[in-house]
A = this chain, B = another copy of it.
Amino acid sequence: MNLSQTTVSRALNGYPEVSAETRRRVAEMADKLGYAPNSQARRLATGRSMAIGHVIPRSIHEMMNPIFLEFIAGAGETYSRHGYDMMLSVVDDAHEEDAYRQIASRKKADGVIIHGPANDERRHLLLKKLNLPFVVHGRIPGAESETSWIDMNNRRAFERATNLLLDLGHTRIALLNGLEHMDFAHRRRRGFEDALAGRGLSPDPALMRSADMTEPYGCENAVAMLKGDDPPTAFLVSSMISAIGVARGIGQCGLKAGKDVSIITHDDALSFLPNCGEVPIFTCTRSSVRYAGEKAAELLLAMIADPDAKPASLHMDAELIIGQSTGPVPSPQNQARP
């Protein structure tokens, strides 16, 4: 085909100086021969790995499993669109730092996403030291202005949800939260408490739980609380999975969700747990975690393209959507008792 490697490279990479005719010929040939530049060689030559790393310590995975994948899927689409690969490392919690060090020293990725920031988060310090660009899914307390992040307004979402319940007359509201050493859960709790405080109420520790958001967690706590001395009339729940458990627990107590007991849950808009339709099953605060993934990826790619840009962030509000699981507090005399 009588063309130098140089020209072929330029043609395939869309350099402007190549003549249209040459480009056409090259493209045609490449197509015919099934040729595409070896990505390792290109990466070595350019010094960019064209990959983004996601380090998943087992502990995060255990609890955030379905939410995490939805985020990944969103991010993955953005990467594909921009010619980036996604590298996933599943590691023991003890090896998380190592994983980041390796990514940096072996140049395995051009940037990483931090998942599930904790209240005492430290990963960002390491990444800064390693000079590895990153975006946080969530926020790192105290480092908001010096890091790029994408987060939903957890505090406000739970404050609004609590206010909705208060407006319906509920005052005994239970909070089934995620693990509160995680930033998102911590903020949700604050929103809950702020709303109560706004009405001059103070939270009852007997009605507050913090744990992995499994289905049995919802069920067992709902049953235990409803059978207690001064049961709640409403539940505020941190995930659909647990909310389903709460609904089951309510049923086990012979009560009816949305009538005897209200539920509001946060809904990450996971595809296998649809909560939509004309009137969704659960009243919820909804925020698409998949969309968050797309946006986080965009932020990170922009950072990589322009390393000198200032940190950028995206703060999203959840929608508050009325479903079938909320209603006015039952008047005391009608109030069903298990």
- List A residues at the B interface (Cβ < 8 Å): 34-41, 43-44, 49, 51, 56, 58, 61-63, 65-66, 68-70, 72-73, 76-77, 79-80, 85-91, 101-102, 105-108, 212-216, 241, 244, 247-248, 251, 270-274, 277, 281
Chain B min CB distance to A102 (Å): 6
Most central of A41, A66, A105 by chain B CB within 10 Å: A66
Question: Which partner residue on chain B sits nearest A41 by CB separation?
Answer: B44
Q: Are A212 and B272 in contact (CB under 8 A)?
A: yes
The residue that A248 contacts in the complex, of B87, B88, B248, with Cβ under 8 A, is B248
18 extra A-B contacts, CB within 8 A, seeds A241-B273, A248-B251: A34-B105, A36-B105, A38-B44, A39-B108, A40-B43, A44-B44, A51-B87, A58-B73, A61-B271, A65-B271, A66-B66, A72-B88, A72-B90, A87-B87, A214-B272, A215-B244, A248-B248, A251-B251
CB pair A85 B87 closer than 8 Å: yes
Once the chains are docked, how many angstroms separate the CA of A264 from the CA of B90? 32
Given contacts A213-B272, A216-B281, contact A77 B90 (CB under 8 A): yes
Contacts of A251 in B (CB 8 A): 248, 251
User: Do A241 and B69 touch (CB < 8 A)?
Assistant: no
A39→B39 CA distance, assembly (Å): 12
Which residues of chain B come closer than 8 Å to A216, judged between CB atoms?
274, 277, 281
Point out the residues of chain B lying under 8 angstroms from A66, CB to CB: 65-66, 69, 272
Listed from nearest, the 8 A-B pairs whose CB atoms lie closest are A76-B90, A69-B69, A36-B105, A40-B43, A39-B106, A251-B251, A66-B66, A40-B44
A40 to B105, CA, bound (A): 11
